A and B are shown apart, each in its own frame.
Chain A
Amino acid sequence: MTIEVAGLSKHFRVHRRPPGLAAAVRSLWRRRYDTVKAVDDVSFTIARGERVGFLGPNGAGKTTTMKVLSGLLHPTAGAVRVEGHQPFRREPDFLRRITLVMGQKQQLLWDLPPSETYALNRAVFGVDPAQARQTIAELTELLGLAGLTDKPTRQLSLGERMKCELAAALLHRPTTLFLDEPTIGLDVAMQVTIRDFIRDYNQRHDATVLLTSHYMDDVVALCPRVIVIDGGRLIHDGDLRALVKTMLPDKLVSFTGGVPAEEVARLGEVVKAEGGRTTVRVPEARLREVVSHVLDRAGADLAVEDPPLEDVMRKLFKDKRAAAPAAPPAEPPP
């Protein structure tokens, strides 16, 4: 196993104060502290070469978990092993095997071209010059970096910068990738580029990938397995398709024209009807019947899809919270 997490908890002591100037003045000398359980008794294992989506609402503890796994934070309790090391020891051999990409923070030197950051990382990670050249050539081809790495970082667009960030994070060829929102703020085309690149890197180097993203399309496209946490607690770990099937077993059938309005209502619940295109929700048991009916009337322009992952997540969180009143959502301190 590349990643082993057993009973991981991370608690923060945060300073709380009521709003207002008077409270701010009081808090100068008397502070109230609360303990926030950002991660609470979470266990999972990830095998070499797996691509796992790490999902949960804002403040669920995803980033905190990633930081513990990459050695930035000491766990409060529990045992964590990544690549055979205890991350918080930050042993050089461990740091050379992992990388953490944070979509909202950057490591590229702002005033200098990305190539300068690459030179720094090459020296820091002790990458052999020939291997570094080869890796950079490979990354340049896969990410389309040609012409970008010699422009000052501040002159790059967000998407270009993210591609260069990825290259900087992968220069030492890590075998475990922690990707925290690597596609945030990027347009759809750039998201697809990054996604394809991550899959390709995973396959080429048999690298283990743990990914968080607010774009469910990233997760659907990349991760056969998902781990879901909410309020610091693990609420699902398993196959993505199986999760979708148990939570929302219905399929969405959409088609254009051809079916009389009164028949549409009998096919299933109408989810959407615009621009002449109708989408109905159909229980899986009736799928074959509905599809053949629509095919008879509307011809070939028909699509069958799983419900969007967003809906699945929303239902999952609602069900779990209803079942067990969870702790209030936790956020790490600012």
Chain B
Amino acid sequence: MRLGYYARLFAVQARASLTTAMQYRADFLVQGLTSLYWLGWNLVPLLVLYDDRATVAGWSFGAALVVMAHFVIVRGILEGAINPSLGAVVEQIRSGAFDYTLLRPADAQFLVSTARFAPWRALDVLGGVGLLIYAFVRLGHAPSPAQLGAGLVLLGAGLAVMYGLWIMIVATAFWVVRMDNLIYLLSSVFDAARWPASVFRGVWKVVFTFVIPLALMTTFPARALLGTVTWQAGIGCLVGALLVSIVARLVWRLALRSYTSASS
């Protein structure tokens, strides 16, 4: 019953986003072209890096391309499904329009997380999938069904981690109101997820594993597809994703309690 209710709600919100996107046809076209442009541009550093070496930190070009493909997919989902809604809620908190979200008899986190989508970002995701196929063609072998399954599960875990981090950032907007720069910072940091995690050494390795677990978002799902991840590491990823999700939910609820709403 509740599941059906939220499924209907999701459908209505997704339809509204799609309708909005369709209203601005020129914008729709420009965004599509931008997506393609960035897909090509993403490959440049990789091509430069592998121009005169066969491996970097033990990663061949094909394997690094698998990580890059995951980065493109995850970023497409981030920019298409997570950033638009959560960026909008920060704006709503500042203007006080968030009051209307709280007046609705549905979970507020669900409402804000599904409020806005950028449908053209599906092109990024498709491009990422294309890149993934190309990478495996270059590597000369395809992942087994088990590896494919593990890769999908870990990709889901990676997305959960990213969504949790973004929710926590948005929750801080309840306390400090202006949050745009922190979102910008996290987006910039996320850019490092295009590289396999093991290329980072020292303090960055610690930061990207435990503070902002970029490795969970792209490297581990990629390694699952490549068949180089141990099942212990896989379980670790799932536990990590679960922990981040729980903490994010708690932080969100705490933040909601302290919401004082802007004066009218």
Contact = CB atoms under 8 A, between A and B. Distances in A.
Interface stretch (B93-101, B137-145, B166-174, B199-207): B93-101
Nearest to B96: A105
A125 interface: yes
A180 B264 CA distance: 9
A120 B20 contact: no
A93 B16 CA distance: 26
B102 A72 contact: yes
A332 B260 contact: yes
Contacts of B11: 123
A331 B263 contact: yes
A90 B102 contact: yes
Contacts of B263: 63, 331-334
Interface residues of B, number: 29
Interface of A is mostly: loop
Contact of B16 (A74, A90, A109): A109
B152 to A, nearest CB: 30
B230 interface: no
A73 B257 contact: no
B105 A125 contact: yes
Interface of B is mostly: helix
A71 B103 CA distance: 8
A-B pairs with the 10 shortest C-beta distances?
A92-B105, A107-B100, A95-B105, A332-B263, A123-B12, A124-B104, A111-B20, A104-B264, A123-B9, A123-B8
Interface in B230-264: 257, 259-264
Contacts of A333: 260, 263
A70 interface: yes
A65 to B, nearest CB: 12
A99 interface: yes
Given A67-B261, A105-B264, A152 B16 contact: no
Contact of A74 (B15, B106, B257): B257
B105 A112 contact: no
Nearest to A116: B16
A95 to B, nearest CB: 4
Contacts of A107: 97, 100
A106 interface: yes
A23 B95 CA distance: 25
A126 B96 CA distance: 25
B16 A124 contact: no
Given A72-B102, A116-B16, A124-B105, A111 B97 contact: no
A152 B262 CA distance: 26
14 contacts: A12-B260, A67-B261, A102-B264, A105-B95, A112-B20, A112-B23, A116-B16, A119-B16, A121-B104, A123-B9, A123-B11, A124-B111, A332-B263, A334-B263
B23 A111 contact: yes
B55 interface: no
B260 A73 contact: yes
Contact of B104 (A93, A104, A125, A152): A125
Contacts of B264: 63, 102, 104-105, 180-181
Interface in A76-100: 90-93, 95-96, 98-100
B42 interface: no
Contacts of A331: 263
Given A333-B260, A334-B262, A72 B105 contact: no
